[in-house]
Amino acid sequence: MLSLQQVRVRLEEAGQAHVLRFWPELSEAERGGLLRDLVQLDLQGLRAHCEGAARAAGRPASGPDPLLDPVPPGAMGSVRKSDEDSLAEWEREGLFQISENGVGVLLLAGGQGTRLGVQYPKGMFDVGLPSGSTLYQIQAERIHRIQQLADRKHGSQCCVPWYIMTSEFTLAPTEKFFKENNYFDLEPSNIVMFEQRMIPAVTFDGKVILQEKGKIAMAPDGNGGLYQALVDNKVLEDMQKRGVEYLHVYCVDNILVKMADPVFIGFCVSKGADCGAKVVEKASVAEPVGVVCRVRGVSQVVEYSEIQPETAELRGPGGELVFSAGNICNHFFTRAFLQDVAENYKGQLKQHVAFKKVPFVDTCGNQVRPTKPNAIKMEKFVFDVFPFSRNFVAFEVLREEEFSPLKNADGASDSPTTARNALLAQHCRWARAANATLLDGQGNALPAVASASEDNPPVQCEISPLVSYFGEGLEELLTGRMLTTPLLLDGKRAKELLMKSSVGVLP
């Protein structure tokens, strides 16, 4: 461990001597904590980081090369447009790879969830479902179910390992939450949590910000920090030992995410892809989502603000948007591709500038809560590796079935209410597709809701992932039944229904 004097010298060399301004005022515990934080920083690269952030903040935003093309049809699959035989074949391939222990899922869960307004990791959030399930529980139960479906199909006893990338803010509470919930009945050794790096926030003139007298303001290095974190924590070695060849990577906040989706996995494998992205059709020209496309023949995500209006409005012969493939942070990677990125490309990832309001102490040691952005946070994005792919594919899915992110508190879009409504509306569709009739408390049949919203909420019908992964297996449980709502169809209720009908055993 570096001594205080060595740290002081390196801070001075980086132009950051002010970080120790309040050293004489700190307690022994505070001094120890600050010194540990400083030693863990890349002090030799600190000057470059701070100067680079200041330069990036001063540059005007640059748009992409104007030569944009949509993803070519040969590299594009679609739940809407692909024929049933192809979808079934991709699902068979995906389930086979899962049964062979060749598929893992990797969760990006390092963010703090400040927009949601909670002081704990987003995965621990309860959106108000009848079951009270958190995002982590829903995702864990989907892993259970997809393993079960693969085992039943191939007579295997497979495992889908769950890699969870956390940060300094989310690791300890996530570990505690999983332990308190008995790892949601998953094998603890198959849940691998690891931390991404933290980097200091800096002022517009390139000075590290002190959040407190003895603490630097730090932030995760974006979800693109994944690639460095895989190296730091020897995660790729763990994947290799387990025989994992394919990774499904996703963000924690999507309540509709299909864990290790066999159709998506099978599509990517059948195409020989090393990298893939799920997309949804943009809801409108102005929807603020990045677009998966090609720039000068290279696959990448172009932010909506970087596309000229006349380009964004281009339409095909059927009236559809030409650039309609909205990015939802739901990706496929081969382990070999991740290894290649880790060894050869992670240092080339683009740095994105984010302007934030970061509390700080002024030169007199007074705590200040800024009312406007005062800090630069440099981030990398997980999709910035797309240009390094040798065979990139995209797969279009239905928004109402697979994408409803939880980002903001109620009163805004992408809130607990919109996420809850999206899941309940999906489960109502599943129940009705299985020929069940949903009743209100007075025994009246409830009409189908065309689209769920705060003003038009869906029927309270929740189906546990332990019963059905994506609507499968419900006919023998629900066909011809009159079901009173609110309804929670969990394992216990499913067994009761089966016993009443003497159909057989729980699927």
Residue 199 · residue 222 · CB < 8 Å: no
3-state secondary structure of 227: helix
Which residues belong to CATH 3.90.550.10 in the chain?
Answer: 68-402
- Considering just the CA atoms, what is the radius of gyration of the chain in Å? 25
pLDDT of residue 504: 41
CB atoms closer than 10 angstroms to residue 179? 10
For the stretch 81-87, contacts whose Cβ atoms lie closer than 8 Å and that sit 24 or more positions apart, written own/partner, are 81/396, 87/263
**Block residue for tokens 């006893």:** 157
Q: How far is CA 462 from the centre of its chain?
A: 23
**pLDDT given at position 507:** 36
To which H or E segment does residue 108 belong?
A: strand 103-108
pLDDT computed for residue 506 by the predictor? 36
Q: Rounded to an integer, what distance in angstroms lies between the CA atom of residue 56 and that of residue 70?
A: 29
Contacts of 256 (CB under 8 A, 6+ apart): 401, 402, 403, 404, 422, 423, 426
Length of the chain: 507
Please report the pLDDT score of residue 452 as a whole number: 59
**Strand (E) or helix (H) holding 228:** helix 226-232
Locus of tokens 């191939």? 154
**pLDDT for residue 62:** 57
CB 300, CB 387: distance < 8 Å: yes
pLDDT score recorded for residue 243: 98
**Integer angstrom CA distances of residue 443 from 291, 298, 331, 438, 486:** 46, 57, 44, 9, 12
Looking at residue 84, its pLDDT comes to: 96
Could you tell me what percentage of the chain is helix, strand and coil, using 3-state DSSP and rounding each to the nearest 5? 40, 20, 40
Residue 158 confidence (pLDDT): 98
For β-strands 246-251 and 103-108, DSSP reports them as: parallel
Residue pair 259/119 in contact (Cβ under 8 Å)? The answer is no
Residues 6 or more apart in contact with residue 200 via CB below 8 angstroms: 41, 46, 49, 50, 208, 209, 216, 217, 218, 219
Give, in order, the Cα–Cα distances in Å from 35 to each of 3, 24, 31.
8, 13, 6
Fold for 428-501, please state it.
Seminal Fluid Protein  PDC-109 (Domain B) (2.10.10)
Q: Which residue type is seen at 166?
A: T
Instruction: List every span in the chain annotated with CATH 2.10.10.100.
Output: 428-501
At the top level of CATH, which class does the domain 68-402 belong to? alpha beta
For the chain, residues with pLDDT lower than 70 are: 1, 59-66, 449-456, 501-507
